[in-house]
Amino acid sequence: AKAAGRNTMRFFDPSMQASIVARANLEHALHEGLRQNQFQICYQPQMDGSGRIVGAEALLRWWHPERGQVPPGEFIALAEETGLILPLGLWVLETTCAQLVEWSKQPRFAHLTIAVNVSIRQFRQPDFADQVLAILEKSGANPEKLKLELTESLLASDVEDINVKMSQLKAKGVRFALDDFGTGYSSLYYLKQLPLDQLKIDQSFVRDILIDPNDAAIAKMIIVLAQSMGLDVIAEGVESQAQKTFLQGLGCTNYQGYLFSEPVAKVQFEALFQG
Ligand code: C2E
Ligand code: CA
Ligand code: CA
Ligand code: CA
Protein backbone atom coordinates (compact mmCIF):
# COMPACT_ATOMS: atom_id res chain seq x y z
CA ALA A 1 0.00 0.00 0.00
CA LYS A 2 2.92 2.23 0.81
CA ALA A 3 4.54 1.62 -2.59
CA ALA A 4 1.27 2.25 -4.38
CA GLY A 5 0.93 5.47 -2.43
CA ARG A 6 4.37 6.51 -3.56
CA ASN A 7 3.55 5.65 -7.16
CA THR A 8 0.34 7.61 -7.22
CA MET A 9 2.22 10.58 -5.84
CA ARG A 10 3.98 10.83 -9.19
CA PHE A 11 0.72 11.74 -10.84
CA PHE A 12 0.20 14.54 -8.39
CA ASP A 13 0.93 18.01 -9.56
CA PRO A 14 3.50 19.33 -7.02
CA SER A 15 1.65 22.62 -6.72
CA MET A 16 -1.51 20.68 -5.93
CA GLN A 17 0.39 18.77 -3.27
CA ALA A 18 1.57 22.06 -1.81
CA SER A 19 -1.97 23.39 -1.71
CA ILE A 20 -3.19 20.21 0.01
CA VAL A 21 -0.52 20.71 2.67
CA ALA A 22 -1.42 24.39 2.99
CA ARG A 23 -5.06 23.44 3.43
CA ALA A 24 -4.27 20.85 6.06
CA ASN A 25 -2.17 23.42 7.92
CA LEU A 26 -4.93 25.97 7.74
CA GLU A 27 -7.46 23.45 8.97
CA HIS A 28 -5.24 22.59 11.90
CA ALA A 29 -4.72 26.28 12.63
CA LEU A 30 -8.49 26.85 12.56
CA HIS A 31 -8.99 24.13 15.20
CA GLU A 32 -6.29 25.71 17.33
CA GLY A 33 -7.76 29.14 16.80
CA LEU A 34 -11.10 28.04 18.17
CA ARG A 35 -9.46 26.42 21.17
CA GLN A 36 -7.25 29.42 21.89
CA ASN A 37 -9.82 32.16 21.43
CA GLN A 38 -8.17 33.72 18.39
CA PHE A 39 -11.51 34.81 16.97
CA GLN A 40 -13.13 38.15 17.47
CA ILE A 41 -16.34 39.78 16.29
CA CYS A 42 -16.22 43.15 14.59
CA TYR A 43 -19.32 45.27 14.25
CA GLN A 44 -20.23 47.33 11.21
CA PRO A 45 -22.95 49.94 11.76
CA GLN A 46 -26.21 49.82 9.84
CA MET A 47 -27.79 53.24 9.42
CA ASP A 48 -31.27 54.48 8.66
CA GLY A 49 -31.95 57.32 6.21
CA SER A 50 -31.39 60.00 8.84
CA GLY A 51 -27.94 58.67 9.72
CA ARG A 52 -28.92 57.05 12.99
CA ILE A 53 -27.17 53.77 13.80
CA VAL A 54 -29.95 51.20 14.09
CA GLY A 55 -27.85 48.08 14.30
CA ALA A 56 -24.67 46.27 13.41
CA GLU A 57 -23.59 43.37 11.28
CA ALA A 58 -21.34 40.98 13.18
CA LEU A 59 -18.31 40.04 11.08
CA LEU A 60 -15.88 37.38 12.16
CA ARG A 61 -12.15 38.16 12.48
CA TRP A 62 -9.37 35.67 13.03
CA TRP A 63 -6.15 36.87 14.65
CA HIS A 64 -3.53 34.20 14.11
CA PRO A 65 -0.28 34.60 16.15
CA GLU A 66 1.93 34.17 13.05
CA ARG A 67 -0.35 34.68 10.09
CA GLY A 68 -1.75 37.94 11.47
CA GLN A 69 -5.31 38.82 10.61
CA VAL A 70 -6.76 36.18 8.29
CA PRO A 71 -9.72 37.54 6.29
CA PRO A 72 -13.00 35.58 6.37
CA GLY A 73 -12.73 35.05 2.63
CA GLU A 74 -9.72 32.83 3.35
CA PHE A 75 -11.17 30.63 6.06
CA ILE A 76 -15.00 30.61 5.99
CA ALA A 77 -15.17 28.28 2.97
CA LEU A 78 -12.74 25.83 4.56
CA ALA A 79 -14.58 26.06 7.88
CA GLU A 80 -17.75 25.14 6.00
CA GLU A 81 -16.17 22.19 4.22
CA THR A 82 -14.61 20.78 7.37
CA GLY A 83 -17.66 21.39 9.54
CA LEU A 84 -15.72 23.73 11.82
CA ILE A 85 -18.26 26.39 10.92
CA LEU A 86 -20.65 24.60 13.28
CA PRO A 87 -18.78 25.30 16.54
CA LEU A 88 -17.55 28.61 15.12
CA GLY A 89 -21.08 29.66 14.17
CA LEU A 90 -22.36 28.80 17.63
CA TRP A 91 -19.56 30.84 19.17
CA VAL A 92 -20.57 33.82 16.99
CA LEU A 93 -24.18 33.48 18.12
CA GLU A 94 -23.22 33.16 21.79
CA THR A 95 -20.91 36.17 21.58
CA THR A 96 -23.41 38.39 19.79
CA CYS A 97 -26.26 37.40 22.13
CA ALA A 98 -24.06 38.30 25.12
CA GLN A 99 -23.37 41.63 23.39
CA LEU A 100 -27.09 42.23 22.91
CA VAL A 101 -27.68 41.66 26.62
CA GLU A 102 -24.89 44.09 27.53
CA TRP A 103 -26.29 46.76 25.18
CA SER A 104 -29.86 46.22 26.40
CA LYS A 105 -28.77 47.54 29.80
CA GLN A 106 -27.51 50.84 28.39
CA PRO A 107 -30.14 53.28 27.11
CA ARG A 108 -27.79 54.54 24.39
CA PHE A 109 -27.43 51.08 22.87
CA ALA A 110 -30.66 49.35 23.85
CA HIS A 111 -32.30 49.88 20.44
CA LEU A 112 -29.51 48.14 18.51
CA THR A 113 -30.04 44.98 16.51
CA ILE A 114 -27.25 42.60 15.53
CA ALA A 115 -27.21 40.83 12.18
CA VAL A 116 -25.39 37.50 12.21
CA ASN A 117 -24.23 35.63 9.11
CA VAL A 118 -25.43 32.04 9.08
CA SER A 119 -23.82 29.57 6.74
CA ILE A 120 -26.01 27.12 4.87
CA ARG A 121 -24.29 24.22 6.54
CA GLN A 122 -25.26 25.61 9.94
CA PHE A 123 -28.84 26.26 8.89
CA ARG A 124 -29.15 22.72 7.50
CA GLN A 125 -28.51 21.20 10.93
CA PRO A 126 -31.80 19.51 11.90
CA ASP A 127 -31.76 21.22 15.29
CA PHE A 128 -30.57 24.63 14.06
CA ALA A 129 -33.65 26.49 15.33
CA ASP A 130 -33.44 24.76 18.72
CA GLN A 131 -29.76 25.66 18.98
CA VAL A 132 -30.46 29.35 18.34
CA LEU A 133 -33.40 29.39 20.75
CA ALA A 134 -31.29 27.70 23.43
CA ILE A 135 -28.57 30.35 23.06
CA LEU A 136 -31.16 33.14 23.19
CA GLU A 137 -32.73 31.69 26.29
CA LYS A 138 -29.47 30.98 28.09
CA SER A 139 -28.12 34.46 27.39
CA GLY A 140 -31.38 36.27 28.07
CA ALA A 141 -31.05 38.24 24.81
CA ASN A 142 -34.17 39.72 23.23
CA PRO A 143 -34.89 37.60 20.11
CA GLU A 144 -36.31 40.67 18.37
CA LYS A 145 -32.85 42.22 18.33
CA LEU A 146 -31.31 39.27 16.54
CA LYS A 147 -31.33 39.16 12.77
CA LEU A 148 -30.02 36.17 10.85
CA GLU A 149 -28.51 36.76 7.41
CA LEU A 150 -29.07 33.91 5.00
CA THR A 151 -27.81 33.70 1.43
CA GLU A 152 -29.64 32.62 -1.67
CA SER A 153 -27.70 29.35 -1.87
CA LEU A 154 -30.02 28.29 0.93
CA LEU A 155 -32.80 28.10 -1.60
CA ALA A 156 -31.22 24.99 -3.08
CA SER A 157 -32.53 23.14 -0.02
CA ASP A 158 -36.02 21.96 0.68
CA VAL A 159 -38.24 25.03 1.00
CA GLU A 160 -40.55 23.27 3.41
CA ASP A 161 -37.66 22.52 5.76
CA ILE A 162 -36.40 26.12 5.53
CA ASN A 163 -39.88 27.39 6.29
CA VAL A 164 -40.32 25.20 9.36
CA LYS A 165 -37.03 26.42 10.86
CA MET A 166 -37.59 30.06 9.99
CA SER A 167 -41.13 30.01 11.33
CA GLN A 168 -39.98 28.41 14.59
CA LEU A 169 -37.52 31.26 15.10
CA LYS A 170 -39.84 33.97 13.83
CA ALA A 171 -42.46 32.87 16.36
CA LYS A 172 -40.02 34.04 19.05
CA GLY A 173 -39.29 37.32 17.24
CA VAL A 174 -36.04 36.53 15.40
CA ARG A 175 -35.71 38.35 12.06
CA PHE A 176 -34.27 37.29 8.74
CA ALA A 177 -32.40 39.09 5.99
CA LEU A 178 -31.59 37.69 2.56
CA ASP A 179 -27.91 38.55 2.03
CA ASP A 180 -26.19 39.26 -1.30
CA PHE A 181 -29.58 39.39 -2.94
CA GLY A 182 -29.46 39.08 -6.71
CA THR A 183 -26.03 37.45 -6.94
CA GLY A 184 -27.13 33.82 -6.68
CA TYR A 185 -29.82 31.74 -8.21
CA SER A 186 -32.72 33.06 -6.25
CA SER A 187 -36.09 32.39 -7.64
CA LEU A 188 -38.84 34.87 -6.98
CA TYR A 189 -41.09 31.87 -6.53
CA TYR A 190 -39.13 30.85 -3.42
CA LEU A 191 -38.74 34.40 -2.26
CA LYS A 192 -42.46 34.83 -1.81
CA GLN A 193 -42.70 31.66 0.27
CA LEU A 194 -40.13 32.58 2.90
CA PRO A 195 -40.94 34.65 5.97
CA LEU A 196 -38.21 37.24 5.35
CA ASP A 197 -37.92 40.70 6.89
CA GLN A 198 -35.21 42.33 4.82
CA LEU A 199 -33.46 42.18 1.46
CA LYS A 200 -29.80 43.16 1.31
CA ILE A 201 -28.63 44.79 -1.91
CA ASP A 202 -25.24 43.28 -2.64
CA GLN A 203 -22.25 45.61 -2.80
CA SER A 204 -21.53 44.45 -6.36
CA PHE A 205 -24.60 46.43 -7.46
CA VAL A 206 -23.70 49.43 -5.30
CA ARG A 207 -20.06 49.80 -6.35
CA ASP A 208 -20.73 51.30 -9.81
CA ILE A 209 -24.29 52.40 -9.26
CA LEU A 210 -23.52 55.98 -10.31
CA ILE A 211 -21.96 55.02 -13.63
CA ASP A 212 -23.59 51.74 -14.63
CA PRO A 213 -27.28 52.06 -15.53
CA ASN A 214 -27.71 48.27 -15.23
CA ASP A 215 -26.59 48.30 -11.60
CA ALA A 216 -28.94 51.19 -10.93
CA ALA A 217 -31.79 49.29 -12.58
CA ILE A 218 -31.14 46.16 -10.52
CA ALA A 219 -30.90 48.13 -7.26
CA LYS A 220 -34.13 49.90 -8.11
CA MET A 221 -35.83 46.59 -8.91
CA ILE A 222 -34.77 45.14 -5.55
CA ILE A 223 -36.00 48.21 -3.66
CA VAL A 224 -39.38 48.20 -5.44
CA LEU A 225 -39.69 44.45 -4.90
CA ALA A 226 -38.94 44.82 -1.19
CA GLN A 227 -41.42 47.68 -0.84
CA SER A 228 -44.21 45.81 -2.56
CA MET A 229 -43.59 42.68 -0.48
CA GLY A 230 -43.56 44.73 2.71
CA LEU A 231 -39.89 44.02 3.37
CA ASP A 232 -37.19 46.27 4.68
CA VAL A 233 -34.21 46.93 2.40
CA ILE A 234 -30.56 47.69 3.13
CA ALA A 235 -27.73 48.51 0.73
CA GLU A 236 -24.27 47.18 1.62
CA GLY A 237 -20.90 48.46 0.45
CA VAL A 238 -21.97 52.12 0.46
CA GLU A 239 -18.69 54.03 0.22
CA SER A 240 -19.69 57.54 -0.86
CA GLN A 241 -22.30 60.11 0.02
CA ALA A 242 -23.24 60.24 -3.68
CA GLN A 243 -24.04 56.51 -3.66
CA LYS A 244 -26.15 56.93 -0.55
CA THR A 245 -28.05 59.89 -2.00
CA PHE A 246 -28.67 57.97 -5.21
CA LEU A 247 -29.95 54.91 -3.34
CA GLN A 248 -32.12 57.12 -1.16
CA GLY A 249 -33.63 58.57 -4.34
CA LEU A 250 -34.55 55.02 -5.38
CA GLY A 251 -36.35 54.54 -2.06
CA CYS A 252 -33.69 52.70 -0.09
CA THR A 253 -34.12 53.04 3.67
CA ASN A 254 -31.03 51.49 5.27
CA TYR A 255 -27.31 51.63 4.55
CA GLN A 256 -24.09 49.92 5.52
CA GLY A 257 -20.58 50.59 4.26
CA TYR A 258 -17.24 52.34 4.63
CA LEU A 259 -18.98 55.73 4.21
CA PHE A 260 -20.14 55.32 7.80
CA SER A 261 -17.56 52.91 9.21
CA GLU A 262 -15.59 49.78 8.53
CA PRO A 263 -16.33 46.79 10.73
CA VAL A 264 -14.70 47.70 14.07
CA ALA A 265 -14.15 46.15 17.48
CA LYS A 266 -16.94 46.63 20.01
CA VAL A 267 -15.18 49.45 21.87
CA GLN A 268 -14.70 51.47 18.68
CA PHE A 269 -18.26 50.70 17.64
CA GLU A 270 -19.55 52.12 20.91
CA ALA A 271 -17.35 55.19 20.43
CA LEU A 272 -19.25 55.96 17.20
CA PHE A 273 -22.12 57.11 19.42
CA GLN A 274 -20.08 59.73 21.28
CA GLY A 275 -19.99 62.32 18.51
P1 C2E B 1 -20.86 39.62 3.66
O2 C2E B 1 -21.81 39.01 4.63
O3 C2E B 1 -21.40 39.99 2.33
O4 C2E B 1 -20.23 40.86 4.42
C5 C2E B 1 -19.95 42.10 3.81
C6 C2E B 1 -18.47 42.23 3.52
O7 C2E B 1 -18.24 43.49 2.90
C8 C2E B 1 -17.60 42.23 4.76
O9 C2E B 1 -16.37 41.61 4.42
C10 C2E B 1 -17.38 43.73 5.03
O11 C2E B 1 -16.22 44.00 5.78
C12 C2E B 1 -17.28 44.24 3.62
N13 C2E B 1 -17.64 45.65 3.52
C14 C2E B 1 -18.41 46.37 4.34
N15 C2E B 1 -18.56 47.63 3.89
C16 C2E B 1 -17.86 47.72 2.74
C17 C2E B 1 -17.65 48.78 1.80
O18 C2E B 1 -18.14 49.91 1.92
N19 C2E B 1 -16.87 48.48 0.71
C20 C2E B 1 -16.34 47.24 0.53
N21 C2E B 1 -15.59 47.04 -0.55
N22 C2E B 1 -16.53 46.22 1.40
C23 C2E B 1 -17.29 46.45 2.49
P24 C2E B 1 -15.66 40.60 5.42
O25 C2E B 1 -15.79 41.11 6.83
O26 C2E B 1 -14.29 40.36 4.87
O27 C2E B 1 -16.52 39.28 5.31
C28 C2E B 1 -16.56 38.56 4.10
C29 C2E B 1 -17.61 37.50 4.13
O30 C2E B 1 -17.31 36.48 5.09
C31 C2E B 1 -18.99 38.02 4.53
O32 C2E B 1 -19.60 38.62 3.42
C33 C2E B 1 -19.65 36.74 4.98
O34 C2E B 1 -20.16 36.04 3.87
C35 C2E B 1 -18.51 35.95 5.57
N36 C2E B 1 -18.57 36.04 7.05
C37 C2E B 1 -18.09 37.01 7.87
N38 C2E B 1 -18.36 36.72 9.17
C39 C2E B 1 -19.05 35.56 9.16
C40 C2E B 1 -19.63 34.74 10.19
O41 C2E B 1 -19.62 35.04 11.39
N42 C2E B 1 -20.25 33.58 9.79
C43 C2E B 1 -20.33 33.22 8.46
N44 C2E B 1 -20.96 32.08 8.16
N45 C2E B 1 -19.81 33.97 7.49
C46 C2E B 1 -19.18 35.13 7.82
CA1 CA C 1 -23.70 39.45 5.52
CA1 CA D 1 -23.58 40.69 2.04
CA1 CA E 1 -21.61 40.54 -0.41
Work out the average pLDDT over 184-202. Answer: 85
Residues that place a CB less than 5 A from ion ligand 3? 179-180
Residue type, 112: L
In this prediction, residues 218-234 reach a mean pLDDT of 95
- Which of the two residues, 16 and 204, has the higher pLDDT score? 204
Mean pLDDT of 22-27: 87
Which ligand neighbours the alpha carbon of 79 most closely? Answer: 1
Element (H, E) at 224: helix 213-228
Distance CA 60, CA 89 (A): 10
pLDDT for 4 beyond 80? no
4 neighbors 222 (Cβ within 8 angstroms): no
Q: Rounded distance, CA 47 to CA 260, Å?
A: 8
Contact (CB, 8 A) for 93 and 85: no
pLDDT by residue (tens digit) across 128-183?
A: 999 999 999 999 999 999 999 998 888 777 888 999 999 999 999 999 999 988 88
Longest Cα–Cα distance of the chain, Å, equals 70
- What's the pLDDT at 153? 81
What is this model's ipTM?
0.97
| 183-190 contacts, C-beta under 8 A, 24 or more apart | 183/152, 184/151, 184/152, 184/153, 184/155, 185/152, 185/153, 185/155, 185/156, 186/152, 186/155, 187/155, 188/225, 190/155, 190/159
pLDDT band of residue 18 (cuts 50, 70, 90) is: confident
61 φ, ψ (degrees, to nearest 5): -130, 140
Ligand 1 touching residue 258 (CB < 6 A): yes
Cα separation, 40 vs 100, whole angstroms: 16
pLDDT score for 193: 84
Q: What is the mean pLDDT of residues 262-273?
A: 97
Which pLDDT belongs to residue 1?
Answer: 43
| pLDDT, average across residues 64-78 | 91
- Render pLDDT for 78-135 as a digit per residue (tens, 0 to 9): 999 999 999 999 999 999 999 999 999 999 999 999 999 999 999 999 999 999 999 9
Give yes or no for residue 20 having a pLDDT over 90.
Answer: no
Burial state string for 143-178 with b = 16 or more CB within 10 A and e = fewer than 16: bebbbbbbbbebbeeeeeebeebbeebbeeebbbbb
Side chain identity at residue 189, one-letter code:
Y
Residue 275 confidence (pLDDT) above 90? no
Closest residue CA from atom 23 of ligand 1: 237
Q: Mean of the per-residue pLDDT values for the chain?
A: 92
Please determine, for residue 3, whether its predicted confidence score (pLDDT) is greater than 60.
no
Whether 211 and 233 have beta carbons less than 8 Å apart is answered as no
Q: What is the pLDDT at residue 51?
A: 93
CA of 16 to the centre of ligand 2 (A): 31
Alpha carbon of 203 to ligand 4 centroid (Å): 6
| Ligand 2 mean position, distance from CA 236 (Å) | 9
Residue located nearest, by CA, to atom 44 of ligand 1: 119
